[in-house]
Amino acid sequence: MEQTLATGSTLSIDNQTRSRDRFVPGQPDMWVFVLFEGLTFGAYFIVYMLYRMGNPELFLRSQERLNPDFGVANTLILLTSSWFMARCVRAARHADYRAALVNVSLTVFCGLLFVGAKVLEWSLKVHQGIVFSTNEFFWFYYFLTAIHVLHVLIGFVVLAVVIYQLSSPERRSQEIVETGATYWHMVDFLWVVIFALIYVMR
């Protein structure tokens, strides 16, 4: 009898463990969107690499005209924003909604810093006479960074939904919070790849 109970208890624990292992945070639709965006940006990155291999000297000379400090600063800002978003999710899981709201608000602040820094970088480049049509490298520089900023702006809408959900006990949904976090982490990951390709790779 005791052995049967012990076996049943073990199976129950194993089932709970497998259930946790299968758990995917957020809504499945968001993960489908993340996969689609990953494939889309992956195609952009492949095209960039093909152009780069076709004219490596032009790309190297053009990269030297970028200010790596902007790239590093933007990367640190977005990594910090992801840290705040992770803290938001953790706080929400523990029903500490005040802390969750503070952390998601800090995530928005970091996003605003990122957009501001990117607009400043673009304006400095234009002032130097470096525009989209300057050469093939700057096609990709402006296109990839601009489409990423567009995703950050969409991210502000997503984070606004998270804040709206957290602000009232009647609307609080852990699934919505984690869905918003999934989107924001995707945006941050895409920037890390863009940073590596545009600013770092030689």
Residue 141 maps to which CATH number? 1.20.120.80
- Asked if residue 56 belongs to a domain, the reply is yes
Q: Tell me 131's DSSP state.
A: -
81 pLDDT above the threshold of 50: yes
- Asked if residue 23 belongs to a domain, the reply is no
Single-letter residue type at 58: L
140: its two tokens: 């990709």
- Asked if residue 61 belongs to a domain, the reply is yes
Residue-number span of the structural domain to which 72 is assigned = 29-200
What is the pLDDT confidence band of residue 172, given thresholds at 50, 70 and 90?
confident
Contact (CB, 8 A) for 74 and 116: no
pLDDT attached to residue 202: 81
Q: Percent of the chain beyond pLDDT 70?
A: 88
Instruction: Pick the closest to residue 80 from 194, 201, 196, 184 (CA basis).
Output: 184
112 pLDDT above the threshold of 70: yes
- Asked if residue 11 belongs to a domain, the reply is no
pLDDT attached to residue 169: 83
CA distance 69 to 141: 15
pLDDT attached to residue 18: 42
- Asked if residue 16 belongs to a domain, the reply is no
Question: SS3 of 115, please?
Answer: helix
Phi then psi for 168, rounded to 5 degrees? -135, 135
* pTM of model > 0.95: no
- The total number of structural domains in the chain stands at 1
- Asked if residue 22 belongs to a domain, the reply is no
- Asked if residue 116 belongs to a domain, the reply is yes
105 pLDDT above the threshold of 50: yes
Which positions ≥6 away from 133 have C-beta within 8 Å?
139
CA distance 85 to 188: 11
- Asked if residue 50 belongs to a domain, the reply is yes
CA distance 160 to 171: 13
